[in-house]
Chain A
Amino acid sequence: MLLQIHEPGQTPDPHADDRGLAVGIDLGTTNSVVAVSREGQPEVLRDGDGNGLIPSVVAYGEDGSVLVGREARRQLLERPESVVSSIKRLMGRGVADVKTVAGTLPFELDSAAAGGMVRLKVAGRTLTPVEISADILRAVKARAEAAQGKTVDRAVITVPAYFDDAARSATKDAARLAGLEVLRLVNEPTAAALAYGLDNGAEGLYAVYDLGGGTFDISLLHMEKGVFQVRATGGDAALGGDDFDHAVAEHFLAERAAALGQTTLTPAEAKQALATARVAKECLSVSGQGEWFIDLGDQPSRHALDRATFEALAEPFVERTIGICRGVLEDAGVTPAEVKGVVLVGGSTRVPLVRRRVAELFGRPPLANINPDEVVAVGAALQAEALTVGSDTLLLDVTPLSLGLETMGGIVEKVIHRNTPIPVALAQEFTTYQDGQDAMLIHVVQGEREMVDQCRSLARFVLQGIPPMTAGAARIRVSFTVDADGLLTVSARETVTGVEQQVSVKPSYGLSEEEMAVMLRASMLHAREDMELRLLTETKVEAGRSLLAVRAALAADRDLLSASELAAIETSLAALETLLTTADRAAVQAGIDALEAATKIFAERRMDRGIRQALAGVSVDQLDQTLPPDA
């Protein structure tokens, strides 16, 4: 084995082993997968029967029991009113969005909840998509813990690249409810590229075509010596294999209505028809034709379907994905011929029509030597290891959708354009339009269209206390910051007087902090202890940093101290070291403060020496640690 040399600031977490295991989770519309990586060797965690896929289906019992996965999916046909599937399509969605999912909803919505996040009525309970996703994540966490025999409390979770800010924060909230710390949200196609690229030593420009159950993403990445740079991404967060199911179900139901007369479907019956359609779709991916039964009430009906008819039903959806691919290629200024390979991801890429159309567009057969269901989780596991243990690979991702503000007349002023590398911070100046205007509404939207009502509203807040000025005199600087998870923070500041307000954008369709707090209490028996544990861990990380810093300083400048001063500092160091073995957060914090106080004089002398040396012309280069040209 090669000797590992760690760069300053990159030493692996010395307490890594104290922590639970970090896993990668693909939280899918249809199935979820969890994987773990050790020393660059990723492994999908399976149940006793060798199944890697956990159906993203939750069954709620009248007695309050919660069942996730295969068992829940089996109950889908028996008691559809208590089983929820495809909940990912509702993450970060409002009631109005859901209406567009299908003519007959497979969900029963709580109509009392107007505006805000969708709420579902299931088995006598009212649940948000965040809580239902948290139930799936708990089952995923339990599988990982059973497979590893270890606590799992940290994860990289993947999201569709085209997920907007609302859906991303909803995903993070669900993980928090499930007791998982999110190390990073990674875009699904990027995770797939990481897994594929590392495994195949891919170099050059690649496309990742990711058609899942409910979402479609296309990403163009440049891979080179361990760097995975996303050049452009596009997609549709409400387009996927579910749409094929809907089309087939509607086809079956139309046949049924023609034979038996029109009836109104209950949501439970819609679910049954969808489940049958799904079976038909999967069957037609391998065989040419088949026959299925829909058994509603006491009137069964028989439906024959061949692949040609299925493809005619699925075609409009596949064409939409191809159109989006063309747009992304145009956006990046790339011709299909320049793309070295196309990686297929997502269960829906098993449909032969999809493979054919993708091959036609790019002029080459897509790469299918990977399991399209597992590759995203494998990439997430590799990234979880990279984040906790260290790695030479680098993922450079972009914002999928433009972010902007509403201006006069409902027109969107874009502040951050789509396909901008993240993290990013950009600001724009606005002004008042009325004399004496003392407040300004800041309305944050996401999307590519020019009018506000055609974009997604993320948040509204009011900047108050603008001093009275004539119209156009105030200077209001609105700053957008997108972090490495793709999450947005917006702040506004009147630059003449410095009145400032900052909001972490909690989207209009998200949960408030109060709602989250209530859910956390309800969901975790030991919510308080859990929170306290997390704070303790953070404080210990901080203490570790402090110990390391003081020891490094002593190694360099010990001669600046008298014997007694040195002894005092060493006593504080030892005291803090001892405190690290306890679970007393306040005491650890006090130890950090004591060490800081004990080293105050030392720090001053070190600065004095540095300045003296600089004035004497001692090489500052030694201090000026710039990067060698080809690191």
Chain B
Amino acid sequence: MMNQETFSAAAALLPCWSCKGPVAARALFCSTCGAVQAPGQADHFTRLGLPRGFALAAADLDRQYFGFQRRLHPDRFATRSPKERALSQQQATALNDAYETLKDPLRRAAYLLRLAGRVVDVEQAGTVDDPALLMEAMEMREALAEAAEPEAVAALQAKAERDVAACVADLAAAFAADDLDGAGRLTTRLKYLGKLADEAKARRMRLTRHDF
């Protein structure tokens, strides 16, 4: 009887589109003929060769992303056949998607929760059942509406940004302790704090009359 691992190893073989020989489903290039392959199904961490987790140093993310793009970016395939150009574009697109998702703490947290089977909607304005968070947001909005001087708005923006940083630190602790309920609550909180920081920034930019 074959064990599960060898069975999936066999199932993970596909014919290379170019030389038609066997190639691992996760491979970027065919080990026989060197042709670039289509991006396989992989989570963003696997795609960038990073350990799955909330703690992620920006320098590590950049290094991995640049390393993969160096080999897969369409600029490396400009004179090759249309099929290879199209595949490299798909690969580079998948890398960009992974990079953009993992770079932003909020999107990274929501993505980790989704991988764990929990849904946190970071795009749409969902309902919040945390009265303390609602109260905090309301107070902040009022303070923003009342602040007329750029300095006052800048102070509020600085506070909002400090709150965001503190929340990111709490999130890291929650994920490290495998406390997914806590991480879920903190992700919702981070979404709102981020919005408040953006609103404060937008208001400050309007007040200082940036032509933008």
Taking beta carbons and an 8 Å cutoff, which residues of A are in contact with B? Answer: 7-11, 13, 16, 183-184, 224, 227, 229, 234, 319-320, 323-324, 326-327, 330, 383, 386-388, 390, 392, 394-396, 420-425, 481, 483-484, 538, 541-542, 545-546, 548-550, 552-553, 555-557, 599, 602-603, 606-607, 609-611, 614-617, 620, 622-627, 629-631
Contact = CB atoms under 8 A, between A and B. Distances in A.
B82 interface: yes
Given A16-B79, A323-B210, A615 B6 contact: yes
Contacts of A622: 31
Interface stretch (B66-74, B139-147, B172-180, B184-192): B66-74
B96 A541 contact: no
A285 to B, nearest CB: 24
A627 B27 contact: no
A631 B23 CA distance: 21
Contacts of A10: 71, 76
Contact of B31 (A481, A614, A625, A630): A625
A555 B36 CA distance: 19
B21 interface: yes
Contacts of A327: 205, 210-212
Interface of B: 2, 6-7, 9-10, 12-13, 15-16, 18-24, 26-36, 49, 63-64, 66-71, 73-82, 84, 89, 92-93, 96-97, 99-100, 201, 205, 209-212
A481 to B, nearest CB: 8
A624 B73 CA distance: 20
Given A8-B34, A9-B29, A394 B70 contact: yes
A520 to B, nearest CB: 20
Contact of A617 (B6, B36, B63): B6
A623 B31 contact: yes
Contacts of A483: 74, 89
Nearest to B202: A330
Contacts of A599: 20
A532 to B, nearest CB: 17
Contact of A626 (B21, B23, B27, B79): B27
A395 B6 CA distance: 40
A556 B21 contact: yes
B73 A394 contact: yes
B6 A387 contact: no
Q: Name which of B35, B36, B212 has the most chain A CB atoms within 10 A of its CB.
A: B212
Nearest to A391: B75
B28 A625 contact: yes
B33 A549 contact: yes
Given A388-B78, A541-B81, A545-B81, A423 B22 contact: no
B93 A424 contact: yes
B21 A607 contact: yes
Given A388-B78, A603-B20, A552 B33 contact: yes
Given A324-B212, A387-B78, A557-B21, A552 B34 contact: yes
Nearest to A322: B211
A481 B89 CA distance: 10
A171 B173 CA distance: 51
B18 A549 contact: yes
Contacts of A330: 201, 205, 210, 212
B123 to A, nearest CB: 10
A391 B34 CA distance: 18
Given A13-B79, A327-B205, A423 B49 contact: no
B162 to A, nearest CB: 14
B158 to A, nearest CB: 13
A11 B69 CA distance: 16
A629 B89 contact: no
A607 B15 contact: yes
The 8 closest A-B pairs by CB, nearest first: A610-B22, A8-B34, A327-B212, A323-B211, A603-B20, A552-B33, A549-B19, A387-B78
A9 B71 contact: yes
